[in-house]
């Protein structure tokens, strides 16, 4: 895959290994500016490991990770930190600080990384909470007071705190009911269009893949097996892909996506 000016992330030849376990070997991946890229794969294929490698939480034993044209693995620490501030990350389970309110969770990166005063950070936190689709009174609640869907949105508000260029989402709709998951998907689509984000989303949710992704990368055999539009990926001759996209759940997701195109309100109507 030759580098191209449209790529905001370029991963080349990455090898991730933990002891004797090789998770990725010679992995290549491109993420294009402004796209929503879905990353899928069977259990143990290292979807979250790949995300953590790109955002700098895991250092591969080989390969390069270029973001905004710069190799993160060779940059001085201060320069790399400045680039990583342009990332917004939503981890599995939200990873909110349980002792802080939602507003305090969102304000924290603004104080620590942007150097804002507490009052300024609180004002911006209210804006991010609203952007994430939460009611204003959610800011004063603790994570333990929130539903699963609200925790996801609170974590999204924190991920948006520093006005990122790239949003990384790790299983953002896991555990949500179908209506809540569909609403979250549409929120991500709206934010991408409104803010010009590039979105890297690790998911097993077929509805998400069918309704909001521009391309899908399939991890298999320690590498990216295919990274293309859904119709190209679904037509790839691979046993896991056939089972995943053409099984009962895949067919149901395809039917639901077609229904959503005909009537955008379908996703928000109870069955």
DSSP 9: E
Q: What is the pLDDT along the chain (271 residues), one digit of tens a residue?
A: 444 448 999 999 999 999 999 999 999 999 999 999 999 999 999 999 999 999 999 999 999 999 999 999 999 999 999 999 999 999 877 688 889 999 999 999 999 888 889 999 999 999 999 999 999 899 999 999 998 889 999 999 999 999 999 999 999 998 888 889 999 999 999 999 999 999 999 999 999 999 999 999 999 999 999 999 999 999 999 999 999 998 767 666 666 666 666 665 554 444 3
pLDDT score at 226: 96
pLDDT score at 271: 39
Here the tokens at position 115 are 């150097």
Spatial distance between the Cα atoms of 227 and 31, rounded to a whole number of angstroms: 9
DSSP 86: T
Q: List Cβ neighbours of 83 (8 Å cut-off, separation of 6 or more).
A: 67, 68, 70, 72, 75
Angle between helix axes 148-159 and 178-195 (nearest 10 degrees) is 10
The 3-state DSSP composition of the chain as helix, strand, coil percent (nearest 5) reads 45, 25, 30
pTM over 0.85? The answer is yes
Spatial distance between the Cα atoms of 13 and 65, rounded to a whole number of angstroms: 9
pLDDT score at 266: 52
pLDDT score at 175: 86
Dmax over Cα atoms in the chain, in whole Å? 56
Q: Are 115 and 107 in contact (CB under 8 A)?
A: no
Pairing of strands 62-67, 7-18: antiparallel
């Amino acid at each position: 895959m030759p580098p191209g000016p449209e790529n905001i992330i370029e991963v080349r030849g990455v090898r991730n290994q933990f002891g004797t376990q090789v998770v990725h070997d010679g992995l290549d991946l491109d993420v294009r500016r402004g796209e929503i890229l879905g990353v899928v794969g069977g259990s143990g294929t290292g979807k979250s490991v790949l995300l953590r490698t790109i955002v700098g939480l895991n250092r591969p034993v080989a390969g390069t990770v270029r973001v905004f044209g710069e190799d993160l693995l060779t940059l001085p620490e201060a320069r790399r930190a400045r680039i990583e501030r342009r990332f917004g990350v939503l981890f599995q389970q939200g990873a909110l600080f349980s002792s802080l309110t939602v507003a305090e969770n969102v304000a924290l990166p603004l104080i620590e990384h942007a150097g804002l005063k507490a009052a300024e950070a609180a004002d911006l936190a209210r804006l991010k909470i609203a952007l994430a689709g939460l009611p204003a009174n959610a800011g004063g609640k603790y994570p333990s007071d929130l539903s699963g869907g609200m925790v996801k949105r609170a974590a999204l508000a924190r991920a948006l705190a520093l006005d990122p260029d790239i949003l990384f989402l790790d299983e953002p709709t896991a555990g949500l009911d179908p209506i809540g998951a569909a609403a979250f998907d549409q929120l991500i689509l709206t934010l991408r269009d409104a803010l010009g984000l590039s979105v890297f989303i690790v998911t097993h949710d077929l509805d998400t893949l069918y309704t909001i992704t521009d391309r899908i990368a399939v991890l298999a055999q320690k590498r990216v097996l295919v990274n293309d539009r859904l119709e190209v990926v679904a037509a790839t001759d691979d046993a896991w892909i056939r089972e995943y996209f053409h099984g009962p759940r895949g067919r149901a997701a395809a039917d639901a996506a077609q229904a959503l195109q005909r009537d955008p309100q379908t996703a928000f109507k109870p069955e």
